[in-house]
Amino acid sequence: MKASKYILPTEKENPADAVVASHRLMIRAGLARKSSAGLYFYLPLGLKVLKKIEQIVREEMNAIGALEFDLPILTPSDFWEQSGRWSAMGKEMFRIKDRHDLSYALGPTHEESFGFLFKPLLKSYKDLPVNVYQIKTKFRDEIRPRFGVIRSREFVMKDAYSFNLDEESLDESYQSMRVAYRKIFDRCGLKTIPVQADSGSMGGSASEEFMVVSPIGEETLLLCNACGYSSNSEKTPSRLPIETVPKIFPEKKELVTPGKTTIAAVSEFLGIAEKETLKAVALKSEKKKILVYLRGDLELNLHKLHSLLKIADSEPMTDAEVRELGMVPGFIAPMAPNDQVKILYDRSLQKNFPYVIGGKKEDLHVQGYVLEKEISNLPEFADLALAREGDLCPNCNSPLKAEKGIEVGHIFKLGEKYTKAFGIQVLDQNGKSRTLTMGCYGIGVNRTMATVIEQCNDEKGIFWPIGIAPFEVTLVSITKGEDQYKKAEEFYNVLKNEGIEIFWDDRDVGPGFKLKDSELIGFPIRITVGKKFFENGEISIYNRKKDQEESFVFTDYEDLMARVESLRQELFGELE
């Protein structure tokens, strides 16, 4: 491909709205352009990268026997109502109506569609297991799209689904997909960490995210260096070192705390640690009012709460709603279970520890409050706190380390959630009807592309792993006159005819501009034919990743091809 015939709109300046490297560099390197909030045009170079990632995904899916399908993006509301997710998916689902007033969704995922499709196709245990996938544009009505294509409203995803007769078969499909995912991300140049995760609205029993450690990650990973445990903070059980109970309890008494409605303000005012306080979180869902008590220095994990109560969502009560229940906002005290509110206590709380609590009145707190002395019918304490760095590993009790991570893949054991909803059954070996079990496996294709850039960039631009680079080799020619141009074209034609994926920058611009563009875009290998070649036969080969350039006297194309192939194999070897 010749640059003079290409669309190559590189930019010197960073876009004003880009705050992360991948977003900045995708725009500057001419890979993409913004359409509107969370929507992007892909230009030829960017599309080539996306298609290479898709091809890697396709090859590894096919290698484990998965079959590729293509389902409609527009999905009838009937499918979602049958599974119960028409309301559970919340406002992030794009919902539309056609001219007949029928409701549809722009698919964010396709469990329902595949369920509807496969119910009449699967008849016998002999048809199983089945592993299917598609690579498809998906939609999610993000309230705040950000980080370019890492969190966008329209995105490309590979979603796969397995239909299995039993748990043993499901585990085999799950494990084969797990291995395939590692191969996919290795081939894309990404080092991933599989972590235990929450299944959320997807449902199911087991779930793992494939995370890439990154300071811009929106997920918090908790890792144990001692035993190798890894998990998303939303899934990690909260295990805290036991706080020593004072031998002499502080006197139980009321404390005037004017205007101190937050744990931080109360702790500072009283000169105590936040972990010595007990706080209340007042929430509401469609069906109930909820009051959760936990240690003052901890945060409530909404995923754990929703899973425990089997609710889709919740939101904070208003001050007026709190007062309607006879409580004072900012000064709520512990309560026993009652009919008005669902009362929950987090297991971070010790029943025999003297806490500072809300005093049930404005500007009042109480010190020395011991739960087991004050409330006779305390409910069983539940794990409701968000785990954090320094908490104890659930496997070996070593302290956990926190890292930020970007999710590039997610696999689920869905169980019978969707097969029951759609009545997907087959006859087993004994002629009896059996409800199937399912797995679900997703990879964000354009998110993978952006995450590679987050890992593979420097002050000059991108350095693509060779397996997904838009072109493996760029030829930069610096010529004067027709004769020199024709000689550079000879290099291009020979390399192209040898099967090298080559991009020739033959534009009529300065050498500095060409060299900087090649480094910004991130072609793995650069061959430069310029002034030195026409004077003394010297050319150079540049390794973009290592930022190393080797100059040598050109003897023949066989020698040049050997050097290029050697560097290609070295770069591909780094992906294994």
Residue extent(s) of CATH 3.30.930.10 domains in the chain: 15-72+107-237+402-454
Tell me the three state secondary structure of residue 114.
helix
Report whether 406 contacts 454 (CB < 8 A). Answer: yes
In DSSP terms, 434 is beta-bridged to 426
pLDDT digits (tens, 9 = 90+) for 438-456: 999 999 999 999 999 999 9
Buried b (16+ CB within 10 A) or exposed e, 351-389: eebbbbbbbbeeebbbbbbbbeeebeebeebbebbbbbe
pLDDT of 311: 86
User: For the structural domain made of 253-374, what CATH number should be given?
Assistant: 3.90.960.10
18, two tokens: 């880009």
Q: What are phi and psi of 304, to 5 degrees?
A: -65, -40
DSSP string, 253-297: EEEE-TT--SHHHHHHHHT--GGGBEEEEEEE-SS-EEEEEEETT
pLDDT of 89: 86
Report whether 164 contacts 436 (CB < 8 A). Answer: yes
pLDDT digits (tens, 9 = 90+) for 375-408: 988 888 999 999 999 999 999 999 999 999 999 9
The sign of the dihedral angle between the CA atoms of 471, 476, 481, 487 is: negative
pLDDT digits (tens, 9 = 90+) for 125-154: 999 999 999 999 999 999 889 899 999 999
DSSP string, 448-480: HHHHHHHHSEETTEE---TTT-S-SEEEEE---
Profile the chain (576 residues) by mean pLDDT over runs of 10 residues: 94 92 97 95 97 98 98 96 90 95 96 96 96 97 92 96 96 96 96 79 69 91 94 91 81 94 95 95 91 96 91 91 93 90 94 94 95 90 95 94 95 93 96 96 97 96 97 96 95 96 95 96 97 95 96 95 96 90
Residue extent(s) of CATH 3.40.50.800 domains in the chain: 464-573
CATH level 2 (architecture), domain 15-72+107-237+402-454: 2-Layer Sandwich (3.30)
Q: At residue 125, what is the residue type?
A: Y
Q: Find the Cα–Cα–Cα–Cα dihedral 194, 522, 20, 36, rounded to 10°.
A: -100
Orientation angle between helical segments 167-187 and 44-63, nearest 10 degrees = 140
- Which residue's structure tokens are 């100059």? 551
pLDDT digits (tens, 9 = 90+) for 248-270: 788 899 999 999 999 999 999 99
The whole-angstrom separation of Cα 483 and Cα 505 is 17
The whole-angstrom separation of Cα 131 and Cα 425 is 16
Report strand pairing: 502-505 vs 473-477: parallel
Q: Which CATH number fits domain 464-573: 1.10.3720.10, 3.30.70.580, 3.40.50.800, 3.40.50.2300?
A: 3.40.50.800
CA angle 203-236-352, nearest 5°? 120
DSSP state of 417: H
